[in-house]
Amino acid sequence: MMKPVVQLDHSQTTPLFLQIYQRLRQAIAEGRLKPGDRVPPMRNLATELNLARGTVEAAYQMLISEGYLLPRGPAGTIVSPQLAHQRPRQLATPAPPIASVQQRPAGALAFQMGMPALDVFPQSIWARLLNRRQREDGIATLTYPDPQGYSALREAIAAYLGVSRGIACTPEQIFICPGYRSALARICRVLMQPKEAWWFEDPGYFHAKDCLLENDANLVPIPVDTGGINIEAAIDQRPDARFALVTPAHQSPLGVSLTLSRRLALLDWANRQQAWVVEDDYDSEYRYVSRPLPALKSLDDGGRVLYIGTFSKVLFPGLRLAYLVLPEAVQERFLIETIRCPHDCPYLLQATLTDFITQGHFSRHLRKMRSLYAQRREYLCQALKEVFGNRLRIDLQAGGMHLLAYLEAGERDKVWADKALMAGLSIQALSSWRQSITGEPGIMLGFTNVSSPEHAQILAERLRFAVQ
Ligand SMILES: Cc1ncc(COP(=O)(O)O)c(C=O)c1O
């Protein structure tokens, strides 16, 4: 069956693994391979085509990471049944952003930012813990959860924050929320008056911007440079702001860390003004040159920092579990709001996560991801350098989950992002993350799902082809 699907042209300059990838993808798009169909075992296809197994494996890995194929262990690899919900043409030519939100293939899009490595999450451990809780916890799994969050999970998070992020807090200060934006919206509802001013990093995380605007905040864009958000400029511009939203560990999206002197200046301003600092600590665990930096919250003697953590990056975003750590002085106000208007997260997921943390799987997973991501980052860096040479200038930072690469003067990053998307590559344009401050054009590329040097090479080649 496969012979007509995979026929290689050895005279072409296109690498053989890329040809295999393209042929299979084309066959899926044209309906010659249908959702649920088995594709040939890698070894058989390699023998048939007289190639090394690694060559076929690189193509399969890429199709798996893009959601076209689904590995089924000993049962073989099949075309993803999820694709049954898509029309063939959408597979060949990826849909524009709005449609792709609803209809993207399962798994991460190539280069998708902020997505952890989905291929290495220990699903069998997770499933075992979840099943055990479902079996043993009986009624607790069926009723309404504690609106503040499962108490044993809050205890586990408090212990983790003490050890890993230098934050001393009690479980009572922690509020579990279904994702970062829910935590942010909750802060607006409890502490903000309409139109109050927020210092907001420029460039900065667009989902946070949208969420704050939706909640009637007044955003004051503050420039970010190599030392993070410029606190002096912020004080010059709006000393009377009521809030500052910052990403001190790895600024989103530039990846720089907020310097100690700026951290202290920020806290000093907040104490003097009785303003609130919201710390978004979304991916601080991923640092490749040294241990993760302590959180800003660890320096917060005056009780002005509201800390938001999420499990989206350290585990997986489908979990929809984030948390707020509050200063003691506002705990009660949040509790009242939470009881009046709960933001519940399912008990079963919270209980499973508790076991995952307390039984040591969480810290093991993090350790593994740190070294895996360092490796994957290197794969992508090398491939981009090889394929693009001086066309891209990579700005390598100490941590994070994506690469930032600046384009040559005159290039338009939004055009790159649009063209890449048409080729199924989810890169982001730096200028789309800016508000009022203009700067060099650049692109952001997630590297966490780049599984091998060959995969990196394929993706880099595809990007070059897309933007030429
Ligand atoms: C800057 C930043 N903060 C927070 C988050 C976490 O959001 P959530 O908890 O909704 O997945 C993300 C996710 O991409 C992010 O990029």
Within a 10 A sphere around the Cβ of 217, how many other Cβ atoms? 24
Which ligand 1 atom sits closest to the C-alpha of 280? 3
- Say if ligand 1 is within 6 A of residue 280 CB: yes
**C-beta of 182 in contact with ligand 1 (< 6 A):** no
Please indicate, yes or no, whether the overall pTM of this predicted structure exceeds 0.85.
no
307 Cα to the center of ligand 1, angstroms: 13
> Among positive and negative, which fits the CA dihedral 315, 321, 326, 328?
negative
- Cα of 165 vs centre of ligand 1, distance in Å, is 18
In this model, does residue 3 exceed pLDDT 80?
no
Ligand 1 close to Cβ of residue 205 (< 6 A): yes
Which of 196, 114, 160 lies closest to 373, judged by CA?
Answer: 114
Q: Is the CB of 178 under 6 A from ligand 1?
A: no
What is the position in ligand 1's atom list of the atom closest to the CA of 253? 1
317 CB under 6 A from ligand 1? yes
pLDDT at 1: 46
**Does residue 282's CB lie within 6 angstroms of at least one atom of ligand 1?**
yes
How far apart CA 323 and CA 184 sit, in angstroms, is 10
Q: Which of 180, 205, 313 is the pocket-test mutation for ligand 1 (most atoms within 8 Å of CB)?
A: 180
- Tell me what the mean pLDDT of segment 241-255 comes to: 97
Instruction: Report the C-alpha gap between 68 and 60 in whole angstroms.
Output: 9
pLDDT tens digits for range 304-318: 999 999 999 999 999
What was the pLDDT predicted at 65? 66
How many whole angstroms from 330 Cα to the centroid of ligand 1?
24
Determine how β-strand 402-407 pairs with β-strand 442-446.
Answer: antiparallel
Q: How far is the CA of 82 from the centre of ligand 1 (A)?
A: 25
Per residue in 112-140, pLDDT (tens digit) is 999 999 989 999 999 999 999 999 999 98
At a CB cut-off of 8 Å and minimum separation 6, what does 286 contact?
250, 292, 313, 369, 370, 373, 399, 400, 401
What is the spatial distance between Cα 110 and Cα 63, in angstroms, rounded to a whole number? 10
